[in-house]
Amino acid sequence: MAASILHRASGVALSFAGLGILTWWLYAVASGPQAYERFTMAATHPLGLIVLVGVTWSFFQHLLTGIRHLVTDTGAALELGVNKTFAILTFVGSVLLTAALWFYLLGIVK
């Protein structure tokens, strides 16, 4: 239930914020150092960082619940207990992966 709605919410977030930022980022790289400077200024602003952390968390959540959907599409792991365990693992996994990525990117863990 919660995993399903999160799959949708993270998918919508990736569709608009994720692809929007990807497009802006590619455009900034193509436009030269000054345009790229403006992109990094926005990206490293506290608000920009919050958005980027949200997008990467959406990426991992959608990736993991997506794998879960591909597995359940085959008819496997539909038993209540197993299904619930996998759903919880997608939350734990997405939070751990997001934290690990940003600790690494911000230089907290080398």
Partner 1 sequence: MSLGDSSTPLGKVRGLGSARHGGEHWLTERMTSIALLLLGSWLLASLLLLPALDQRTLLEWLHAPSGAVPMALLVIIGFKHALDGVKVVVDDYVHGPGNNFVTNLVMLFLAVGGGALALFALARIAFGGVA
Check if the beta carbon of residue 101 is closer than 8 Å to that of residue 56.
yes
Point out which span in 29-37, 45-53, 76-84, 86-94 binds partner 1 (CB under 8 A). Answer: 29-37
**Is 28 an interacting residue with respect to partner 1 (CB under 8 A)?**
yes
> What distance in Å separates the CA atoms of residue 33 and residue 79, rounded to the nearest whole number?
54
Q: What three-state secondary structure class fits 1?
A: coil
Nearest to 18 by CA among 55, 47, 62: 55
Q: Which of 2, 3, 17, 30 binds partner 1 (CB under 8 A)?
A: 30
CB of residue 47 vs partner 1: minimum separation in angstroms? 19
CB of residue 16 vs partner 1: minimum separation in angstroms? 8
**Residue 36, number of CB atoms within 10 A of its CB:** 15
CB of residue 30 vs partner 1: minimum separation in angstroms? 4
Q: State the amino acid at position 9 in one-letter form.
A: A
Please report, as ranges, the residues that interact with partner 1 according to CB under 8 A. Answer: 8, 11-12, 14-15, 19-20, 22-23, 26-33, 36-37, 59, 63, 66-67, 70, 73, 101, 104
